[in-house]
Amino acid sequence: MTTLVKTEGISKEFSSVRVLDNISVEIRAGEVFGIIGENGAGKSTFIKILSGLYQPTAGKLWFDGQLVEMRTPADARKIGISLIPQEFNLVSDLCVYENIFLGEELVTKRGFLDIAAMMERTRKLLAELDVAAIDPSARIQSLSVAQKQMVEIAKAIAFDSRFLIMDEPTTMLTSKEVEVLFGLIERLKTNGVTVVYISHKLKEVKRICDRVMVLRDGEFICLEDIGDLSTDEMARRMVGRELKEIFPPKREVPGEVVLSVRNLSVENLLHDISFELHAGEVLGFAGLIGAGRTELAETIMGLRQPKSGSITLNGRKIQIRRPWDALRAGLSYLSEDRQGSGIITSFDVVRNVTLASLKEYAKPFISQKAEIDKTKFYADRFSIKVPALSARLEQLSGGNQQKVSLAKSIDTQPKIIIVDEPTRGIDVKAKRDIYNFVRELAQSGLSIMFISSELEEIIGMADRVLIMRGGRIVGELPSEKLSEEEIMYFATGIKGGL
Ligand SMILES: Nc1ncnc2c1ncn2[C@@H]1O[C@H](COP(=O)(O)OP(=O)(O)OP(=O)(O)O)[C@@H](O)[C@H]1O
Ligand SMILES: [Mg+2]
């Protein structure tokens, strides 16, 4: 097999801290090349170098036999390299087709923007990704996170590239969309496209990759044929030791009802939602993309207004008109779109952790020491890897940013916490830390609404699961009846149909 990309001694330092150390590797033409490693291992940094976003501190890079020096992503694009980034890189005020063709607009013979052609091409791309429901002229801000992810993918494949890099493309997707993406990868591969695939979902890596490289603390650990590594072995090489028992034991007896939602409806989105949440319970919410789980969380948190229905907290009916009301009532929310509403990437780590709970630190002046101590506690608890506590959040790896947003939502001392896809982009070991922590919160009497598209995680964590479809709750399963099949029956409408 021929080599498409070759690196020799690639290293990267940020203010003299080495985050990538001497990586020499060859990526074969037409293969799907996996990269795995813990949060902060250097995966994104490596592929940012391959796609012209970062310049290496040292080392050389060959593309198709040519020594290349890429100064910008445009340089990379010119030679056929494109990237689906880990964090969305879309302009939210612009519409879908404008984003796809941003900087590479199609023009008519007379030099005008060829809007019709761009719309048509966008429509084709979206149809190929099986998301024809997305309107090419819709503004990005009106899309769900899953739809934004699909637009990022469409953007990357819009121009025939020979080398397509995907940095965690599936964290926001449910199994159906993952299948569509995998179908696409297979087709691209048949057409000779080489793919780099980064993911923490080791089963996906096992399925789609031909070879996999493991990085740990910026260092090359190994590169193996996928057949030679089980998912357990992958985890072991990433972490450097054995990993077992990822889910903590569940709770037997739930406490009294703390939250009761009755006949909650939101125009066009939620229909007649009723459920109860008990003290100490981890209540799972399963469903496909668009089932209404995030909308339900947003309504409870005062981000959307219900047209009817009621919310009762500890026996008292409450009105939640804005997020502040929810926060004051003891509710906290870890949103799925951390960039949209979770954190402020230009602030430092400490300030992000204490963002929603700042008044707790003001007695009356803000105690920086208390803030720092608390941040250190979370950093330790969730193994948050930071260059320094004073680092801006944008300097953290994706998974570490996610851990910071979780810390932020817990730091408000809530009674009820709603977590929406809490472990997206999180490595296996840190996932286990988070599961344990969530279970401890529950043991101490907190109630948790646990929204997740990862069935394994829902099954492993939830004491009870509600399944949503089309803005309704269509099924409920107790812990002992949980299985992936059973959840999918309800989620897809085979069971619990109307
Ligand atoms: N611009 C930057 N300034 C300083 N440090 C940085 C910068 N970008 C990345 N780093 C550091 O480099 C290390 C590697 O980060 P990278 O984003 O490559 O990790 P990753 O393997 O992609 O992790 P994840 O699985 O969480 O996405 C981290 O410790 C991170 O804090
Ligand atoms: Mg990353």
pLDDT digits (tens, 9 = 90+) for 38-73: 999 999 999 999 999 999 999 999 999 999 999 998
Ligand 1, atom 6, lies closest to the CA of 395
pLDDT, mean of residues 474-491: 92
Per-position DSSP letters for 431-485, written without gaps between them: HHHHHHHHHHHHHTT-EEEEE-S-HHHHHHH-SEEEEEETTEEEEEEEGGG--HH
Q: Are residues 63 and 205 in the same domain?
A: yes
497: in domain: no
Provide the whole-model pTM: 0.85
248: in domain: no
Distance CA 8, CA 163 (A): 18
pLDDT in tens, 7-23: 999 999 998 889 999 99
Q: Which atom of ligand 1 is nearest to the CA of 387?
A: 31
Strand order in the sheet with 308-313: 270-278, 257-266, 308-313, 316-318
Tell me the residue range of the domain where 316 lies: 257-492
Strand order in the sheet with 282-287: 331-334, 416-420, 447-451, 282-287, 464-469, 472-478
244: in domain: no
Calculate how far, in angstroms, residue 98's C-alpha sits from the geometric centre of ligand 2.
26
What's 53's domain CATH number?
Answer: 3.40.50.300
Q: Are residues 295 and 410 in the same domain?
A: yes
pLDDT of residue 341: 59
pLDDT in tens, 91-101: 989 999 999 99
Total domains in the chain come to 2
Q: Please give the structure tokens belonging to residue 191.
A: 């057409």
Q: Which atom of ligand 1 is nearest to the CA of 385?
A: 29
Mean pLDDT of the chain: 90
Q: Are residues 270 and 220 in the same domain?
A: no
Task: Ligand 1: list residues with CB < 6 Å.
Answer: 14, 19, 37, 39-45, 86, 385, 387, 395-400, 425, 427
246: in domain: no
Cα 458–173–274 angle (5° rounding)? Answer: 50
Ligand 1, atom 12, lies closest to the CA of 19
pLDDT in tens, 140-197: 998 888 888 889 989 988 887 899 999 998 888 877 788 888 988 998 899 899 999 9
Q: Are residues 98 and 173 in the same domain?
A: yes
Please tell me the number of the ligand nearest to residue 166's CA: 2
245: in domain: no
Distance CA 271, CA 295 (A): 11
| Structural contact between residues 290 and 144, judged by C-beta atoms closer than 8 angstroms | yes
Distance (Å) of CA 284 to CA 55, 108, 233, 389 = 43, 52, 29, 33
Q: Are residues 202 and 323 in the same domain?
A: no
Look at residue 63 and give its three-state secondary structure. Answer: strand
Q: Which of 20, 35, 44, 213 to mutate to test the pocket of ligand 1 (most atoms within 8 A of CB)?
A: 44
Calculate how far, in angstroms, residue 46's C-alpha sits from the geometric centre of ligand 1.
10
Q: Are residues 231 and 296 in the same domain?
A: no
